[in-house]
Every structure is written in structure tokens, then in C-alpha cells.
């Protein structure tokens, strides 16, 4: 006699939810990075050394001020 197949533990977890603060902070970092890259390509600014600091700061500020579960 064969045993019934059981669901794997991964399928029992359900959909993963992203915390709204993390999602908006990451999105803000991506947008800032894109604008810095476009400005660099056009020769308007050169923030090579400061780019990671700016992206991280904007991401953190947006994540801090977005309402959500704390």
C-alpha cells in the first residue's frame, strides 16, 4: 500500500510578505541610483565616492518616514 503524498514545508508557508518600510526604502534607493547614473552619463555631476552614502541615506530616510508596522 502506498502512503499519501504530504505537502512540503515550503508550500505551507504561503506567500512571503515584504515589510512596507523595506519595500519603499529599497524603491527610493533604486530611484536615486538611477538619477545619479543618468546625471553622471550626461556629465552633470560626479558623485563616485559619495554615491553609496547618498543612496543609503535616502533609503533609510524614506524607510523611517513611511508609515507601517514598527
How many CB atoms are located within 10 Å of the residue 67 CB? 8
**In the chain, where the domains are located:** 18-65
DSSP character string of 44-67? S---TTTHHHHHHHHHHHHHHHS-
Report whether 46 contacts 37 (CB < 8 A).
Answer: no
Taking the C-alpha atoms of residue 17 and residue 6, their distance in angstroms, rounded to an integer, is: 24
Burial of 66 (0-12, 13-18, 19+ CB in 10 A): middle
Q: Provide the residue-wise pLDDT of the chain in tens; the chain has 70 residues.
A: 566 666 555 555 445 556 778 888 888 999 999 998 999 899 888 877 888 898 999 998 988 888 765 5
Amino acid at each position: 500500500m502506498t502512503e499519501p503524498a504530504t505537502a512540503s514545508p515550503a508550500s505551507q508557508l504561503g506567500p512571503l510578505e515584504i515589510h512596507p518600510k523595506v519595500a519603499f526604502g529599497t524603491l527610493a534607493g533604486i530611484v536615486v541610483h538611477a538619477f545619479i547614473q543618468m546625471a553622471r552619463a550626461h556629465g552633470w555631476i560626479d558623485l563616485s565616492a559619495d554615491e553609496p552614502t547618498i543612496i543609503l541615506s535616502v533609503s533609510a530616510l524614506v524607510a523611517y518616514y513611511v508609515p507601517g508596522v514598527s
